[in-house]
Amino acid sequence: MTAMSGGVDSSVTALLLQQQGQPVAGMFMKNWEEDDQVSGCTAADDAADARSVAEKLDMRLHERNFAAEYWDEVFEHFLAEIRAGRTPNPDILCNREIKFRVFADHARDLGADIIATGHYARRRENPDGTVSLLKAVDLNKDQSYFLYALDQKQLSMARFPLGELTKPQVRALAEQAGLPVADKKDSTGICFIGERNFDRFIARYLESAPGEIRTGSGQVIGRHRGLIHYTPGQRQGLGIGGLRGFSEDPWYVVFKDMDNNVLYAEQNASHPTLMSTRVTAHEAHWIGRVPRAGERLHAKIRYRQRDQACRIERLDDSVVVLAFDQPQRAVTPGQAVVVYDGDECLGGATIAAGNAPLPAAMTTTDTTGAVPA
């Protein structure tokens, strides 16, 4: 059973399986009930594209609505994390709970014992019967970062036909086969937000009080719209340019004080408050081999980041502490740190904190000084 999104990747996935002589059916998942015109989603258009591809490939297409499961298993967690001041990555939870659990269960009910998706990743079957998750050949498109939370049962059932291909090769195959989505633009962002304004979307579900923006030394330099709208390292949307007594350099979010509703900002993209050499992460999940304390590996703290050399400093149950060779900028609670041994994705965890120092003002009592008008 192929997960059909209406995009070129899932369409070529089905095409490749057909060319291999596999019996293939598809399933289109609708995961969001919001009105398309409001949310920016294109579920209706995507479903129509999936039907067109299925017709072209003479393939049966099933359609399922998983909106209730998505809300319960992904979106409520997403909101809770933002409310707590963290920056969640719902794609990781969606893969684990929806695409490789709910979707897989429905595929099995329809008689399928294998599910295929358009993810750029690879898998390896090992002599001991376990399955390893590997990076895609196209490192620019590699999506193993978003798949680190899958377990052995899910990986055993999964197939990733695009893992050995580059994106240009995938588009060329779609064009050669005359697929109607060969030139379709890749989707970006979170499905239920689409390419609409994130702040306006999230404000429909969460309330957040405005408050002060301060420098690390405690000077008040502006007002924020609510801490849920900001994340460490953010440059755009602060609205504090051209302040008297400061340079014209851009400002960056360096810390969110949730207890006092204060946003701290500095004019240095590599300010010490943004730089961590150690990352503590919770809810660790290991796909197969569990790394050892003291082992040197590589990890990334965000998607598309180049692998960073690190050492497993501590490993206790579901907690892992990574010591990086080079300081990591904007370690963001709620995001994932994913660990690699060469091309193999060992697993990962949800970032709890880095070891960057707090803003100086948070360790002093004089935080009332305002910038002159």
The domain locations on the chain are 2-176, 209-271+359-363, 275-354
210: confidence class by pLDDT, cuts 50, 70, 90: very high
Phi, psi of 298 (to 5 degrees): -130, 155
Which residue blocks in 28-118 are alpha helix, DSSP H? 36-39, 43-56, 67-70, 76-83, 90-94, 103-109
The confidence score (pLDDT) of residue 74 equals 95
The confidence score (pLDDT) of residue 371 equals 38
- Spatial CA neighbour of 84 closest among 356, 332, 252: 332
What is the chain's mean pLDDT, rounded?
92
CB atoms within 10 A of CB 68: 11
State both tokens at 243: 């302040």
Assign 366 to helix, strand or coil: coil
Assign 94 to helix, strand or coil: helix
State both tokens at 176: 């050669």
- Spatial CA neighbour of 119 closest among 87, 79, 146: 146
The confidence score (pLDDT) of residue 118 equals 97
37: confidence class by pLDDT, cuts 50, 70, 90: very low
pLDDT at residue 40 tops 70: no
pLDDT at residue 169 tops 60: yes
What percentage of the chain reaches a pLDDT higher than 90? 85
Does residue 191 have an active-site annotation? yes
The confidence score (pLDDT) of residue 195 equals 58
Residues 6 or more apart in contact with residue 154 via CB below 8 angstroms = 96, 100, 101, 104
370: confidence class by pLDDT, cuts 50, 70, 90: very low
- Spatial CA neighbour of 174 closest among 271, 266, 23, 49: 49
| Selected catalytic residue, list 41, 191, 310, 345 | 191
- Spatial CA neighbour of 179 closest among 12, 24, 23, 60: 12
Work out the average pLDDT over 198-208: 87
Q: At what angle do helices 43-56 and 8-19 cross, to 10 degrees?
A: 20
Domains 2-176 and 275-354 share a fold: no
Output 40 or 46, whichever has higher pLDDT. Answer: 46
| Selected catalytic residue, list 41, 94, 310, 345 | 94
The confidence score (pLDDT) of residue 6 equals 95
44-53, 75-84, 240-249, 272-281: range with lowest mean pLDDT: 240-249
The H or E element that residue 329 is part of is strand 319-329
CA dist 24 → 11, 31, 83, 114, 362 (Å): 12, 22, 42, 10, 59
209-271+359-363, CATH topology level: SH3 type barrels. (2.30.30)
- CATH class held by domain 275-354: mainly beta
pLDDT at residue 369 tops 70: no
Does residue 345 have an active-site annotation? no
2-176, CATH topology level: Rossmann fold (3.40.50)
Identify any residues that bridge with 340 across adjacent strands, giving them in sequence order.
298, 345
